[in-house]
Structure 1
Amino acid sequence: MSSVYRIGDFAKRVGRSPSTIRRWEAEGKITVRRSPSGQRYFDESDVAAVLAPGFTRDDRKIVVYCRVSSAGQRADLACQVEAMEAFCLARGLAVDEWVREVGGGMDLTRPKMLAVMADVKAGRVATLVVAHKDRLTRFGYDYLAHEAETAGCEILVANQESLSPREEMVQDLLAIVDTFSGRLHGLRRYEKQLKVADLTEVSS
């Protein structure tokens, strides 16, 4: 008896994401059968059709982005890449581009991250894979995910928190405190200047 797959299992079987399968359906590249309850289902003939050489595949890239905060974490970066290789292999993802970057999670001007997001916005990336959300950015992930979704790109998060070093979070939190401390100091100095100006005006 032929195996029957739901969309998630079928996506893994052909090395794509469920969102890609849905897009293929919308584009008419595949014919989807549905059960009486309305659920999509596939069998081995569908797998063979998608894996056949003549099938029109998505020509956009699958990109894996790996990041650590400092040069002293090169070993952590290598472990992150190795773990993501295993993750992509298990998911059947044929990765087109591996991006490795050293830079803080709060720095949204990281050159390689900006280059990846530029490709995403230009419609050149089908799937962007990261170990954890904070590997892409410490704050503002939802905005980047929205930009990716708008461009038809799926951000696939492996949710491997062990690849997000705790010391990085401490460094980022200290950076936030330092930033706001500087602003608070500036406000206090501004308040003093205002008071001096008021006293000068009153005395004159």
Structure 2
Amino acid sequence: MEKRYKPGEFALKINRSVGTLRLWDRSGKLPAKRLPSGQRYYTEEDLNKALRLDRPLIKKKIIVYTRVSSPKQKQDLIRQSEAMEQFCLARGYIIDEVIEEIGGGLNYTRPQFLRLMKMIENREVKILVIAFKDRLCRFGFEYFEYFLTTHEGKLVIANAQTLSPQQELIEDLMAVIHSFSSRLYGLRKYKKEISKIISEPEPTEIR
């Protein structure tokens, strides 16, 4: 059975007064439902509608995101942005903002990447355009795409592999290998220490 809210309960839910609800009911802004006895009540559908009434209008944007790994690739970043602008122009997209970033694809705390995630969370992004998947992130791309689509956004990938430098991929793979190697070394060292402790004779208790 659908949950019903009495006017007092509903007013608390949306942080408004019962008087405001009566005003909205009379004006038709948010009509209350009524029982045969005439008593007013509200439903979950009314709750969602009321919350939308208070939500400020947000202009949804078409965003281009471009990235390179190091400052040495600054010219590559410029070319990547220009190529994406041409890509959008050919498809009739009017770009609201181009977000450029220098940082590794394995770094998920990049400032502009986090700003983009916040914009998506706030449902500010209508279309996100990238040259290739790895411009956004090396791993977990499917989750990012899911996050965008569930926040009313659309992802457009140009699939311009020439704008995804092979050297970057090699560097990222080397970083992954180094990370796992360090962990493996740490585990081996830890294993040796454990073995040493186990092999040591127990101290003789003196009575």
TM over 0.5, shorter chain: yes
2:99 aligned counterpart, secondary structure? strand
Q: Find out whether 1:64 has 2:38 as its counterpart.
A: no
Query: Equivalents in 1 of 2:83, 2:184: separation in Å?
Result: 42
Q: Could you list the per-position Cα deviations for residues 103-153 of structure 1 after superposition, in whole angstroms to 9, with x for gaps in the alignment? A: 001101100011011100110111111000000001111111111011011
Q: Find out whether 1:92 has 2:89 as its counterpart.
A: no
Query: Equivalents in 1 of 2:203, 2:92: separation in Å?
Result: 78
Aligned to 2:105: 105
Query: Equivalents in 2 of 1:201, 1:145: separation in Å?
Result: 57
Counterparts of 1:72-83 in structure 2 under 5 Å? 72-83=72-83
Query: Equivalents in 2 of 1:201, 1:93: separation in Å?
Result: 75
Counterparts of 1:116-131 in structure 2 under 5 Å? 116-131=116-131
Aligned to 1:141: 141
Aligned to 2:167: 167
Structure 2 residue identity aligned to 1:173: L
Query: Equivalents in 2 of 1:126, 1:76: separation in Å?
Result: 26
Query: Equivalents in 2 of 1:194, 1:61: separation in Å?
Result: 56
- The total of aligned residue pairs comes to 147
Structure 2 residue identity aligned to 1:87: F
Aligned to 1:197: 197
Note the C-alpha offset of 1:199: 1.0
TM-score (norm 1): 0.70
Gaps of 5+ in 2: 1-57
> What is the Cα-based RMSD across aligned positions, in Å?
1.3
Query: Equivalents in 2 of 1:192, 1:202: separation in Å?
Result: 18
Note the C-alpha offset of 1:155: 1.2
2:67 aligned counterpart, secondary structure? strand
Q: Could you list the per-position Cα deviations for residues 140-196 of structure 1 after superposition, in whole angstroms to 9, with x for gaps in the alignment? A: 111111110110111111110110000000000000010000000100011011101
Query: Equivalents in 1 of 2:97, 2:127: separation in Å?
Result: 11
Q: Could you list the per-position Cα deviations for residues 53-102 of structure 1 after superposition, in whole angstroms to 9, with x for gaps in the alignment? A: xxxxx930110000000000011111101110110000100010110000
TM-score (norm 2): 0.69
Q: Find out whether 1:152 has 2:152 as its counterpart.
A: yes
Percent identical across equivalent pairs? Answer: 44
1:98 aligned counterpart, secondary structure? strand
Structure 2 residue identity aligned to 1:68: V
Query: Equivalents in 2 of 1:128, 1:87: separation in Å?
Result: 12
Query: Equivalents in 2 of 1:100, 1:161: separation in Å?
Result: 18
1:181 aligned counterpart, secondary structure? helix
Bigger Rg, which one: 2
Structure 1 residue identity aligned to 2:116: V
Query: Equivalents in 2 of 1:195, 1:175: separation in Å?
Result: 30
